[in-house]
Every structure is written in C-alpha cells, then in structure tokens.
Structure 1
C-alpha cells in the first residue's frame, strides 16, 4: 500500500511525462523540418520558483528517488506476506513428522498391546470360570444326561467357560488398546503388514529343523525392538549355517 507522499510523487511524475510527450510533437507550421521543443519539467501554470514546481522537477519520470520509493514499498509488502506464507507451509510438515510412527515406537506399542491382551485374558478367564461354577443348579438337567460322573462333567464345563474367557481376552484387550491409541491404529496396521512380510521373507525353512537345531522364533513373536529384530536375523543365519556345516 502506497503512502500519501508516494501517491503525490507518482501523480506529478505522470503529469510531467504527459507534458513532455506533447511538447515533442509540436512542430513549426511554416518549416519543412520538425522542431522539437524542450520540456520545462514543471507543472503548467506554476512559476519556476514555486514549491510545487520544484517538487515536480525532483520527482520526474527519470528520478531515482521515485524508483527508490516504489521499490521500498514493494519490498515492504513482500516481506510482510513472506513470514505468514512460510509458517503456513511449515505447519503441515511439522504435523506430519510429529505423527509419523517409527519402528522403535511401533515395537513399544506392540509390547504394550500384548500386555493389555494378556491382562484382559486373565480377567476374562477368571470371570468365565466363576460364571461356570456358580450356575450349578441350572446345569443339573444337562449333567444328568451326560454318562459321566457329575463332578467330572461340571469340571469340564467350568474349564470350558474359563478357556472361552481366555480366548476372548485378547480381542477385548486390543479393543481397549486401540481406543486409547486411535491415532496410531492405521499406521500400526501398515507397519505390521510390512513387519510380517519381512519375517516371512527372512525366516528359515522349518522342514529342515531337528532336535539339535530347532527353528528360532518362526513367527517373530519375541521381537520387541529394532535390536531384537537384528538378533533374530542373526539367529536365522546361524540356523542355516548349522544346517549346512553341522557346527
């Protein structure tokens, strides 16, 4: 945005350029050669010694002061808009870097999820076991139809309830874990696919295992860090080396 002083200077410069172009086109009607008149460099109707005439001469179209004023205004407007644009462009990058899931964080979250699953397995096992013990009167018609001792039948039913609760526990634990870590759910799914693809690619052939050379963690369940994954790769290479050299 131009200041009042800059606007006034631009108007005076435009008037001076217009008068100069008119003066150059004036020629003598009684002569065969055109005669160019010299512009006065001051506004029409102003005395040479007036302040407006002097300011018009200073802010002419070829004056370096006018160019300096315009350049200063342009640089000021550009510098005012540049920081805001750079901040807007920097925010998405910072957010993307902050939400990116690396491998160490993935293994830490994977270990935490396994603990949640184990904890809920214990809880659901206990709840199901108690639920299988309490309704003994309800199960009497079923117990009488089974050709076994009633204590054995009730024991099998109670253990079946407990096993069912143990199997339900990991699903409940995963649900609670992903509820508490919603922003990592999609990235963990992608990382798990990539992780199991690497496990499948680098694990050994279990058909050539033996008692003296067992398969080292076929599914990679014991891997809990990047260092653990590297150790797992070393164990796979050691298995193949022992299979060939028997050492």
Structure 2
C-alpha cells in the first residue's frame, strides 16, 4: 500500500510539474505582450515617427525656392507702390482745406503729403506688394507647398537661434539682416553666420572697432 501511495504521489507531482511547464511560458508570453502594448501606447511617437516622416527638400533647393519667392515679392511691390501713391495723391490732392485751418498745428498740405507717402510706402510697398507676390508664388508651387512650409519652419528656428541681440546695436555696429531675408543659398547662410559672429564680437569689445 505504501508503495502504491508513493507511486501515485510521484505521478501527481510529475503531472503538476508538466502543467506548470506548459502554463508558465504562456503566462510569460502574455505578460510581455501586455507590457509591449503598454509601452507602445505610452510612447505613440516611437511607432508613429517612421510612418509620418516624409521626404524633405534639400537645403540648397529650398533656399533657391526662397530666393525666387523674394524676387516675386519685390517684383509686385513696385506696381503696388506706384498704384498706392497715385491713389493717395489723387485723393488727398482733391481735398480743399479752409484757409487758416491747421491739422494738429500743422498746415494741411504737409499732412496730406505725409499721408500720401505713407500710403505708398506702408500700404503699397510694405504690406500689399509682398502679400500679392507671395500669394502668386504659392499658386505656382502648389505641389511643394507642404515641403516648403516644413523647411520654412525649420529655417526660422535656425534664424531665431543664431541671430544676434538687436538691443546691443550702435551706429557703427548695425544689426546684420535680423530676419535673414537676404539668404538665398548655403553660401549666403554661412556669410550670415559670420556676420552675426562679427556683430557679437564688436558688441562685446566696442573698443576694438576700427
């Protein structure tokens, strides 16, 4: 009887051991799968980044496109400035102030002249012209607008990071192209960086200025 009990107990132990051997890998597999899913949900950018990453324009191509955009804006500034000046001159020139009337203590003719120049410079030259030119340019580059905008944001970050502090400028040390408007190639960008460095040195050591 005792030997029979021992054999029965041994059989049950072997059965339990084999059952644990089958259950443990399955349980461990589920735990790892759950952990992987949790990490993926906690870090969505890890799996989303490769699928969302698209092609980027080469810097040389982007800067060439940017230079072309600048030319469009300048080209449209000229006719809009002339139109704004003509319109302002026609309007303010037709006004007939009463004799002896002053506008803020100034003769009306000078006020009208200043207003005409402001129309030509601010409205036509500074605001409307570049806006029209930029709009026309975007219409001619519809297929690459998204790529250009992505590079534009990155370029702006570079400019903001590397440009100088304008509060330290002086008559002999003006701010060199604060917005980077004249950058149209990689060569121009390197020159812009050198100009920023020269400005910083002059601002830090003004006695070394020539």
Shorter-chain TM-score bucket reads: 0.5 to 0.7
- The runs of 5 or more residues in structure 1 that have no matched partner are 1-95
Q: Which residue of 1 aligns with 2:72?
A: 116
Structure 2 length normalisation: TM-score?
0.57
Alpha carbons 1:129, 1:159 under 8 Å: kept: yes
Instruction: Give me the whole-angstrom Cα distance separating, in 2, the residues matched to 1:137 and 1:235.
Output: 45
Which has the bigger relative contact order, CA under 8 A and spacing at least 6? 2
Q: Any conservation in 2 of the 1:106–1:191 contact (CA below 8 Å)?
A: yes
Alpha carbon RMSD of aligned pairs, Å? 3.1
- What is the CA–CA distance in structure 2 between the aligned matches of 1:137 and 1:211, rounded to whole Å? 38
2:182 alignment partner, SS class = coil
1:101 alignment partner, SS class: coil
Structure 1 segment 192-203 matched on structure 2, within 5 A? 192-203=152-163
Among 116, 120, 124, the residue aligned to 1:165: 124
How many aligned residue pairs are there?
A: 148
Kindly indicate whether the alpha-carbon contact (under 8 Å) linking 1:144 and 1:150 is maintained by their aligned counterparts in 2: no
Q: Answer with 1 or 2: which has the greater Rg.
A: 1
Which runs of 5 or more residues in structure 2 are unaligned? Answer: 1-53
| Cα distance between partner residues in 1 of 2:146 and 2:191 | 27
TM-score (norm 1): 0.50
The offset of 1:134, in angstroms, is: 3.5
Partners of 2:128 and 2:195 in 1: CA distance: 33
The separation in 2 between residues aligned to 1:195 and 1:169, in whole angstroms, is: 23
Correspondence list, 1:201-216, <5 A: 201-216=161-176
CA contact 2:67–2:183 (8 Å) conserved in 1: no
Contact 2:93 2:112 in 1 (8 A): no
Q: Tell me the CA shift for residue 226 of structure 1.
A: 0.9
Change (3 A) 1:125 1:218: closer
Give the match for residue 17 of structure 2. none
Q: Partners of 2:129 and 2:164 in 1: how far apart? A: 31
Displacement of 1:221: 2.0
Residue 134 (structure 1) aligned to one of 90, 109, 113: 90
Residues 161, 239 of structure 1: CA spacing in aligned structure 2 closer, same or farther, 3 A cutoff? closer
Kindly state the Cα deviation for residue 180 of structure 1 after the two structures are TM-superposed.
0.9
1:106 is aligned, of 62, 72, 76, to: 62
1:198-241 per-position Cα deviation (integer Å, ceiling 9, x unaligned): 11112233344444544333322222111221222233334444
Give the superposition deviation at 1:133: 3.2
Structure in which a larger fraction of residues adopt helix: 2
